[in-house]
Amino acid sequence: MHPLRNKPTHYTTTGLLLGAVLLSGCSIISGSQSMHQSAKGSVYLEEVSEWSFEANHPTIIDQNTMLKIVKGVVTEEAVSASTRMPASGSKPMRVFSDGDAEFLAPLLAQGLSRAKPEQIVGFRVSSSAGSGAAPTAGTLYVQHGAAYFTLSSPKGMKAAGFMPRSAAHIESAPSFAANGAAGAMSMVIDYAALARASMPAAMPVAAAAPAPGAQSAFSAPVKVTARQDAPASTSAVAISEMAASADKPTSDLTTEDILNRNLEELRQAKEAAALKESELKILRKETEWMKKELRERTAERDAIRAKNVASKTAPKKKPAELQPTR
């Protein structure tokens, strides 16, 4: 009797444990696939184990639109260099510098083109050379015609808005996109409308933790700060490298992405054309079969009608009569 009495308790305990695991781990990333890894940063694909999640992947977003997405994310956490306190009357500042945006945009576009419906694109970009700031991490995925861009750095900057405001709205980020960052917000971006908009206007780039000796501002909106123990030449070299990367024309990676996108579109068009041709062949065969069936039935009907008409019009023979003989 005791085993039978303990059996429901065992099932109940197991069910509670499974429920706790599902509730606490429904947003755990079950696996990742690296796409790019360098000193500048990394981009990878993460598989979301939450059963209800399904993204519209793979998705093609051109690099210029992706560049607008990365440059459009802003923060209002402007920090005073002397007091390390929020500056009064702070204005929105870009999260990513021109160099960071040029680095991320083609890789994120490539990630979306390769991602599966159960995957999201994760990224981690190091600060500009000599800044000493913490790396910025985040995730990106496309769902219901919108791009969900989330900053998931636990101790980094928090996204506060998007420029232009008409192309996006902000909402609380799901746990699988925030990667454990408390209070993370997602930029829900209408990338189709953003593609028709102009590039976001130049604005200062937020620095996570500027050194006391660093310059307060630059003529160009480049995220470059110098460490306290770094020589001044390091900052100058970093600025020149970032300016060169900003002025550099379309890179080989960009050209490769555009070529791959065109080839993919051509392949999809060929597949669609082949599918339509196959459907047309099937329809033609069915039409021919129906016509043949109709001809046969018409011939049978005409034969039956002709037989009935012939039987009606044929003269009836009178029966022979016996004549009496005299």
Express each pLDDT in 256-278 by its tens digit.
677 777 777 777 778 777 777 87
Helix, strand, or coil (residue 29): strand
pLDDT of residue 286: 83
Let me know: does 36 contact 253? Beta carbons within 8 Å.
no
Task: List, in sequence order, the alpha helices (H) in the chain.
Answer: 2-25, 63-72, 98-114, 175-178, 191-196, 232-247, 252-313
Task: Compute the distance between CA of residue 281 and CA of residue 317 in angstroms, rounded to an integer.
Answer: 58
pLDDT of residue 7: 45
The domains of the chain are located at 26-213
pLDDT of residue 283: 80
Per-residue pLDDT tens over the stretch 65-108: 999 999 999 987 544 444 334 444 567 789 999 999 999 999 99
pLDDT of residue 189: 97
pLDDT of residue 321: 63
- Could you say which residues of the chain have pLDDT below 50? 1-14, 16-18, 20-28, 78-88, 129-130, 209-252
* 38 residue type, one letter: S
pLDDT of residue 194: 94
pLDDT of residue 128: 59
Let me know: does 86 contact 101? Beta carbons within 8 Å.
no
